[in-house]
Structure 1
Amino acid sequence: MISFTSFPIQPDDIHNGWRAHHPDIAEDTLMDLDDEQELFEAGGSKLTYPGESLTSSQSYMRGHGTYVDNEEVIASVAGTVERVNKLVTVRAIRTRYNPEVGDLVVGRITEVQPRRWKVDANSRQDAVLMLSSVNLPGGVQRRKLESDELQMRTFFEEGDLLVAEVQAFFSDGAMSLHTRSLKYGKLRNGQLVSIPPILVRRLKSHFIALPCGVDLILGLNGYIWVSKHVKESDQEGEEGFDTEAVYSNQNDEIDESTRLAISRVTNIIRVLASRFVPLSDTLLLEAYEWTVDQEGGVKDLLQEDVGDALVATVTARL
């Protein structure tokens, strides 16, 4: 019986075999291929700046945020380099939110129109929340009447903050939102933080409850809501929900320790965002525990040396 033994192929063997079939290929070309491989090995992305040469246009195709000059793919914006097969793109750091169906967003009511609200969701144009896409007294299945349209400002008015889900898109590209679940709706008892949307990772759940009594809503549009912890309701938006509690404009009483915890979490988010660190639930929890161990004040987090130490410690742990 004949048996065959296979030996692992070394990278040098690949290069030597390739060079034997392609004797006209110069040595520096092989080095360029190695550099390009290292460029995309670290998680498939890296930070770049406008005008930086990324790779050869003969080896890769250019995508959004790049252009070709002298047979080289060059970044046209500052952002992260992303590669899908042979397509190289640069996702800009400072850019408007690009929505997808099912995304969780935090927004602010900008205008009340007939049977709809206009919502600032940090996108290229205002989103739309239809009257038929919200929870109303009497259950979500009932028809919306003229009396409901006359009472629209009792539900949402200009300046109100809300959390909603992207339901669909209109023909002009505007987002259509809905708040048919009691997890969504008007926001109270907290503070809004705005960061670049690119720094908000897609997680299994964007509702995060920290052990310090603070709730987080990580909107994929870059708007983050930090608020007092609220117990989950047993009702799921069907019949008989408390209308006054859901659409109330009055904040609850917040004790001093909770206020300090909200301010601490808010400053942590600002420090991480200022250094372009993508946010996640585990990262925020590690950062909060580190700041508590330091026994410093809430304002101390905004100092440059403390912020640098926070980012270095948390990223090293994770």
Structure 2
Amino acid sequence: MREIELSLNQTQKIRLKRALEKLESLSSKANSNSNASVSISDSIPVNLEDGVLKGHGTLDLNGELVATVCGVVERVNKLVYVRALRARYKPEVGDIVVGRVSEVAQKRWRLDIHYSQDAVLMLSSMNLPDGIQRRRTALDELNMRSIFEENDVICAEVRGIQHDGLHLQARSQKYGKLERGQLLTVPPYLVRRRKQHFHHLEQYGVDLILGCNGFIWVGEHVEVKDDMVEDQVSKPEQQKSNKNSISLEEQEQTYTPIETRQNICRIANAVRVLSILGFNINIEVIMDTMNLSSSLNLDIHEMLGSEFCVLVAEGEAERRSLTKRKG
């Protein structure tokens, strides 16, 4: 569990400690039947005579396999390695990531994606605003800032690692610029890779993107042109030259409704609470946390208080305990 940095009174400290101990015991029992949690210098039970391959985070010491990092032992066929819990983001091809443009360079944008170096999004690796598939021209290169500029938030997919760095692609309608929302940063290890990282919360009018790199986007829902794609949050980029011609009435219609803004803030605070507690962040836990705050009639700012964090920890411990009993 992460170190909790909350202003707790004595009763809250006791309640939180009990909840975390209960979660720890449930986790250790689950790991005893599958993958074990290890610390540095812990022994990993394997038979080296069977031709076991030693992977990352392991070391052969006096004929015994020991862990060199804290984490969870993973086994893939004969390969044994330790998945570090608090490691920096390690990109894999196909990962959905959210990033912020740090530089507009020649035929490419550079993005901060919480990685050891900036990622590269080539002009040729994304859809143009007109939607037409064609070769990029010198005019397209001159107009790059009309598509993305510094500090814009973008959703993309990891394409691969090449000689000049990590490359992204945004060739689908679900990728592109993100507006009218909040960008949250959480430790990457709290966001597990799943089949679906795009979520449209229809009842709240909100889109949620859980980036594998620990950047999470919560924003107003935006319809996409591609009807074949579901649960996506990209928005076609509008030409900036048309902004000055929009009437005041049309601008007012594009404002985010106050109710939607409140929903965005409530969901964002649910993510912040889960990050403080060090819980894995997924759509189910986020919705449970948000529904708990609504059932208690808490104001949005009260969700970041000590009492609510303790209630979330107790609720998660109870939920996992019930799940284990049913199992």
Equivalent position to 2:238, from 227, 235, 244:
244
Matched, 1:103 2:105: no
Does the 8 Å CA contact 1:185/1:246 hold for their aligned counterparts? Answer: no
Match of 2:67 in 1: 75
Does the 8 Å CA contact 2:98/2:217 hold for their aligned counterparts? Answer: yes
* Aligned AA (2:238): E
Shift >6 Å, 4+ stretches: 245-251
After TM superposition, list the pairs within 5 Å mapping 1:202-213 onto structure 2.
202-210=193-201, 211-213=203-205
Deviations 1:57-82 (A, max 9, x none): 75876431233445544433333332
Aligned-partner Cα distance in 2 for 1:39–1:187: 39
Match of 1:192 in 2: 183
The CA deviation at 1:193 is 1.0
Cα–Cα, structure 1 residues 246 and 94, in superposed 2: closer, same or farther, change >3 Å? Answer: farther
Equivalent position to 1:144, from 117, 136, 142:
136
Aligned-partner Cα distance in 1 for 2:88–2:240: 30
Aligned-partner Cα distance in 1 for 2:312–2:242: 37
Could you tell me which runs of 5 or more consecutive residues in structure 2 were left unpaired when the two chains were aligned. Answer: 1-27, 230-234, 244-250, 321-327
After TM superposition, list the pairs within 5 Å mapping 1:1-318 onto structure 2.
40-42=31-33, 44-55=34-45, 62-69=54-61, 71-85=63-77, 87-172=79-164, 174-210=165-201, 211-234=203-226, 243-244=237-238, 252-314=254-316, 316-317=318-319
Aligned-partner Cα distance in 1 for 2:66–2:30: 14
Aligned-partner Cα distance in 1 for 2:85–2:275: 11
RMSD after superposition: 3.2
Question: 3-state DSSP class of the match of 2:238?
Answer: helix
Deviations 1:4-28 (A, max 9, x none): xxxxxxxxxxxxxxxxxxxxxxxxx
Does the 8 Å CA contact 1:186/1:247 hold for their aligned counterparts? Answer: no
The CA deviation at 1:259 is 2.2
Deviating more after overlay: 145-154 vs 270-279: 270-279
Does the 8 Å CA contact 1:52/1:75 hold for their aligned counterparts? Answer: yes
Identity of matched residues, %: 41
Aligned-partner Cα distance in 1 for 2:280–2:311: 17
Aligned-partner Cα distance in 2 for 1:276–1:214: 24
Does the 8 Å CA contact 1:194/1:222 hold for their aligned counterparts? Answer: yes
The CA deviation at 1:203 is 2.2
Question: 3-state DSSP class of the match of 1:77?
Answer: coil
* Aligned AA (1:91): R
Which TM-score applies when normalising by structure 2? 0.73
The CA deviation at 1:85 is 4.8
Match of 2:24 in 1: none
* Aligned AA (1:136): L
Deviations 1:157-213 (A, max 9, x none): 1111100112232135x2221212221100101111111222212222211122323
Does the 8 Å CA contact 1:122/1:221 hold for their aligned counterparts? Answer: yes
Does the 8 Å CA contact 1:104/1:166 hold for their aligned counterparts? Answer: yes
Match of 1:7 in 2: none
* Aligned AA (1:45): N
Cα–Cα, structure 1 residues 201 and 295, in superposed 2: closer, same or farther, change >3 Å? Answer: same
* Aligned AA (2:319): R
Question: 3-state DSSP class of the match of 2:292?
Answer: helix
Match of 1:14 in 2: none
Aligned residues: 277
Aligned-partner Cα distance in 2 for 1:108–1:171: 22
Cα–Cα, structure 1 residues 270 and 47, in superposed 2: closer, same or farther, change >3 Å? Answer: farther
Match of 2:25 in 1: none
Does the 8 Å CA contact 2:146/2:239 hold for their aligned counterparts? Answer: no
The CA deviation at 1:141 is 1.5
Does the 8 Å CA contact 1:186/1:246 hold for their aligned counterparts? Answer: no
The CA deviation at 1:246 is 10
The CA deviation at 1:270 is 1.9
Higher relative contact order (CA 8 A, sep 6+): 2
Could you tell me which runs of 5 or more consecutive residues in structure 1 were left unpaired when the two chains were aligned. Answer: 1-36
Deviations 1:119-145 (A, max 9, x none): 112222221111111222443421211
**Larger radius of gyration, structure 1 or 2?**
1
Deviations 1:243-295 (A, max 9, x none): 41799999952233322222221121122123332222222222221221121
